[in-house]
Amino acid sequence: MSDIVPEPGSSPANSTPRSPGPLGLFLVFNQIALCGFGGTLPWAYRILVERRKLLTQKEFTETLALGQILPGPNLMNLGAMVGHRFAGYPGTLAALFGLMSLPFGIIIAIGMAYREFGGLALVQKALGGMSAVAFGLIIGTGLKLALGLPRHWRAISLVLTGFIGIGLMRWPLLHVLAIAGPLGVWLAWRERR
């Protein structure tokens, strides 16, 4: 796990691919963002690992896992670390702006269209159908992840705690996290030792 983000340029030349530079990183992450209709993660993998060979499969999984426990969107954390690895801090900014800039313009354009036409019955009907599917996607993803957990009282009771606390009781996330978070980590830590 120590090789997730080595200092830029510290690895032997044959194990680390040539740095694409900040502009290259901007373009790579811009491409990932624009391909990401319906989920950017598969495209991030395809482009970073398979096409550009900037990361190995193992590096990708480990960097993503670290990105998942840090605050912020997972893929942005991944982009920040990959950018930093290849071009230092300018690389980080290049990757983040690559992910955000064009989608930002596009979503504002969509917002303008929605402001103009969002009230139309046909648009509302289409949005209603799409949102029903979008809810199904998020629930399906949650269930898929839950099914991948170990069948163990610790994991099951933590899932239930999260769902009951936030979904049913509507407690603020911070409260649930502050109490159940350390408890979950402590239980997992005890199990590992």
Partner 1 sequence: MNTPTPGQEAEPLDLFLHFLMFCLIAVGGIGTVIPDIHRYLVESNGWMTSREFLDAYTLGQVAPGLNVMYLPLIGWQLAGIPGALAISFAVMFFPATLTMAVARVRAIAPDATAGRALRDGLSPLTIGFILSTGWLLVNNSGHEWRGHVLTAIAVVITLHSRINPMWLMAAGAVLGLLGVVG
Helices (H), the chain: 21-35, 41-45, 57-69, 74-117, 121-147, 153-162, 173-192
By beta-carbon proximity to partner 1, the closer residue of 3 and 56 is: 3
The least distance separating partner 1 from the CB of residue 97, rounded to whole angstroms, comes to 8
Distances, alpha carbon 10 to alpha carbons 19, 45, 61, 85, 192, in Å:
12, 24, 21, 9, 32
The least distance separating partner 1 from the CB of residue 17, rounded to whole angstroms, comes to 18
Does residue 31 contact residue 100 with C-beta atoms inside 8 Å?
no
By beta-carbon proximity to partner 1, the closer residue of 24 and 158 is: 158
By beta-carbon proximity to partner 1, the closer residue of 23 and 156 is: 156
By beta-carbon proximity to partner 1, the closer residue of 57 and 104 is: 104
What is d(CA 91, CA 82) in angstroms, rounded to the nearest whole number? 8
Length of the chain: 193
What is d(CA 61, CA 43) in angstroms, rounded to the nearest whole number? 14
By beta-carbon proximity to partner 1, the closer residue of 1 and 13 is: 1
The least distance separating partner 1 from the CB of residue 176, rounded to whole angstroms, comes to 8
Question: For residue 78, which of 98, 60, 94, 52 has the smallest C-alpha distance?
Answer: 60
The least distance separating partner 1 from the CB of residue 57, rounded to whole angstroms, comes to 18
The least distance separating partner 1 from the CB of residue 134, rounded to whole angstroms, comes to 5
